[in-house]
Chains A and B, each alone.
Chain A
Amino acid sequence: MPKCIIDGREVEFKPGEKIIEVAKRVGSVIPYFCYHPGLTVVAQCRMCAVEIEKMPKLQTACSTPATEGMVIHTKSPKTLQNQKATMEFLLINHPLDCPICDKSGECDLQDYSFDHGDAYSRYTEERRTYLDLDMGPVIKKNMNRCIHCTRCIRFGSEIAGIHEMVAVKRGNYTEITTIDGLPLQTGYAGNYADICPTGSLGLKDFRFKKRVWFLKKTPSVCEGCSTGCNLEIHQEDNVIYRCVPRENLEINRYWLCDEGRFNFNYLHDKDRIIHPTLFQDGAGQVSEWKEAFNLSKKTLAVQKTVILVGSDLTQEEGRLLQQFLPEHFPKADVYHFGTPGISSSAQDDSEDQILKRKSKTSNLHGFEKLGFKSFPGFPKGCQAVLVIRGGRAILPDLKGIPAVGLGVFSQSQASSFVAVLPGTAFAEKDGTVMNYQGVEQKLRQAILPPGQCKVLSEILMMWTHQKSSFGAA
């Protein structure tokens, strides 16, 4: 392996590796704005320029490949002088609205300004301002804060597959906008807010909801489809405020689709059933666990029962049900369900060649591995259904068959049910899911279940031990 010297330390590198990556590996952090490991290199911001011996000028570390015997100084006076000058230049037109900006606290510009910038501005002229056009339902643009790093433009054309962001005008008047001012088309728009190094592009969903330094982060996995993108759940006081992608180069790289990003909203839906509920003529009535169990058992104590298990449950829950169901419902047919039309892993294809897949539940492949059969439709003479699911599997048409729900349901979804026993969704439990590549990943509990919601194992335990309270029926 060839070697170079960074800040007096000898470092091995792979041929072709850029200086910025080599330096990061040995802990010499080089500041950057326009560089992003998942995007092409443009070397526009000039923040990462470092001094290399035998080169007359500073070289941008993001675009210069390391070579054998190269001597690089990332903390030399010349480099630091450049960083300070670049910061001053970028901050010329940047408004001082960190108190309003949702990015503050995780803003690259703010961090580097603190590390490398000057405390005072020499700029006395009027700052450049823009009028912002609406950019659709996901992203709120504030062009005044932009530093023209063009990460968003590159993300659109390279990752999202739609070149919708462009830089119009030149020099000081450069403006980043969508072509013809149209709203954003891509289903990956949330990433624009993640990769923006300033608060220029922000999520409308997260706007003014919470300052980022209050948020507690839990690494978890998206349950939106069978890709199983890695994400981080950001919550405070048992309320999830947002989900952001977590780097995993084998699965989702640095990205997350909007569907998965905003999927968590159903957890805090006012319509969600969070207490044991009995239904009469479509109207839910909150009751006690005991009554709900009794009614459920009475409903299911019939000749022909179908049990539908959502493939949004975890492997652990699936295994638990495989032990529980044959014991308590020896005659029932057990099927898994998830997405209409996608009943097996063979049908689960990539939806858009980027991240999304056709199976809209996270664990279809895991359930096949466990040996669950796919739901073929209700058999003739079916008298009762038990639906067990997380919050994601799409309910099939129940055709008026009396149903008991166990898991996450909303009032409107469960209006034709007999009873609902409230369970937990993906952010409220630990577990394992298997994605389409066969990679098993951990879901981690980020928040406590609301109301009287309980994890499946607890509900099944109560179900078992309440047996005596239920008379002969």
Chain B
Amino acid sequence: MLVKKKKGIFQEFYLVEILKGLYITFKNLFFARKVTLQYPEERRNYSERFRGVHYIKATNGVENCTACMLCPTVCPAECIHIEAGERADKEKYPIRFEIDVLRCCFCGMCEEACPKDAIKLSSIYEMSTTYREVYDKSFLLEQRGNK
């Protein structure tokens, strides 16, 4: 049920309310701590566990990935596409490893599922492009993280 609040003349006048509001405005304007970052010059420090651009970890120049397909299995966005193959120095390796980054929701479940410690999410968050990007294997093999 709608209850009508009875207001006196003083409240109807609103001036006091306006002054109250302006008090908060000016308090924040002049005295509060600034939260805006001057982005390209200033950077925010994110947690170590931040999930950014993917990469595949390599040991001695050889990718850790064995194309076991656990990451495409677990991926809720179905954005990982792997094709497995065989070569002389590695029984099973990914011929093709693609991440459709527009579909990726950065949940990090691929990283969690990986038995070989291969797929990682680095702390890099600058990944805007002017085209629809799909990360291919050569891009993912750049070691851009410290995890």
Q: Which of A97-151 contact B (CB under 8 A)?
A: 98-100
Q: What is the CA–CA distance of A98 and B67 in the complex, to the nearest angstrom?
A: 11
Instruction: Tell whether B147 is near chain A: CB-to-CB under 8 Å.
Output: no
Q: B68 near A208 (CB under 8 angstroms)?
A: no
B104 touches A (CB below 8 Å): no
Chain A residues contacting B68 (CB-CB under 8 Å) are 98-100, 211
Q: Chain B residues near A99: list those with CB within 8 A.
A: 66, 68, 70, 92, 115-116
Given A99-B116, A100-B91, A100-B92: A211 and B69 interface contact (C-beta under 8 Å):
yes
Can you name the residue of chain B whose Cβ is closest to the Cβ of A209? B84
Check if B86 is an interface residue, CB within 8 A of chain A: yes
| B73-A208 in contact (CB<8A) | no
Whether B73 and A213, one on each chain, are in contact in the complex, defined by CB atoms closer than 8 angstroms, is yes
Please tell me if the beta carbons of B86 and A208 are within 8 angstroms of each other in the complex: yes
Chain A residues positioned under 8 Å from B66 (CB to CB): 99-100
- CB contacts under 8 Å to A, within B62-93, are 66-70, 73, 84-86, 91-92
Q: Which residues of B contact A213 (CB under 8 A)?
A: 73
The number of residues on chain A lying at the interface, defined by a beta carbon within 8 Å of a beta carbon of chain B, is 9
Note all chain A residues with C-beta closer than 8 A to B70.
Answer: 99
Least CB distance, B81 to chain A, in whole angstroms = 11
Cβ–Cβ < 8 Å partners of B85 in chain A: 208
By size class, the interface of chain B is 10 to 19
A211-B73 CB under 8 A given contacts A99-B115, A99-B116, A100-B66 = yes
Which residues of chain B from 37 to 76 have a CB within 8 Å of any chain A CB?
A: 66-70, 73
Secondary structure of the A contact surface, majority rule: loop
User: For residue B85, which residue of chain A has the nearest CB?
Assistant: A208
Q: How far is the CA of A207 from the CA of B91 in the complex (A)?
A: 11
A100–B87 Cα gap in the complex (Å)? Answer: 13
Q: In the assembly, what is the distance between CA of A211 and CA of B82, in Å?
A: 11
- Chain A residues with Cβ below 8 Å from B67 are 208
Residue of B nearest to A211 (CB): B69
Q: A331 to B67: give the CA distance in the assembly, Å.
A: 60
- Type the 1/0 row for A186-220, where 1 means its CB is closer than 8 Å to any CB of B: 00000000000000000000011101011000000
**Which B residues are CB-close (under 8 A) to A98?**
68, 115
Return A110 CB to nearest CB of chain B, in Å. 13
Chain B residues within 8 Å of A209, by CB: 84
Are A208 and B115 in contact, CB atoms less than 8 angstroms apart? no
Q: How many Å lie between the Cα of A100 and that of B67 in the bound state?
A: 7
Residue interface bits A85-100, CB-to-B below 8 A is 1, else 0? 0000000000000111
> Once the chains are docked, how many angstroms separate the CA of A213 from the CA of B91?
21
Q: Which residues of chain B come closer than 8 Å to A100, judged between CB atoms?
A: 66, 68, 91-92
Q: Determine how close the nearest CB of chain B comes to the CB of A318; give it in whole angstroms.
A: 41
A104's nearest neighbour on chain B, judged by CB, is B68
Q: Chain A residue with minimal CB distance to B95?
A: A208
Tell me how far the C-beta of B72 lies from the nearest C-beta in chain A, rounded to whole angstroms.
9
Please, which residues of chain A bring their CB within 8 A of the CB of B115? 98-99
- Which 9 interchain pairs have the tightest Cβ spacing? A99-B68, A208-B84, A211-B69, A100-B92, A99-B66, A99-B115, A100-B66, A100-B91, A208-B92
A residues adjacent to B (C-beta < 8 A) = 98-100, 207-209, 211, 213-214
Between-chain CB contacts (< 8 Å), 5 pairs:
A99-B116, A100-B91, A208-B84, A209-B84, A211-B68
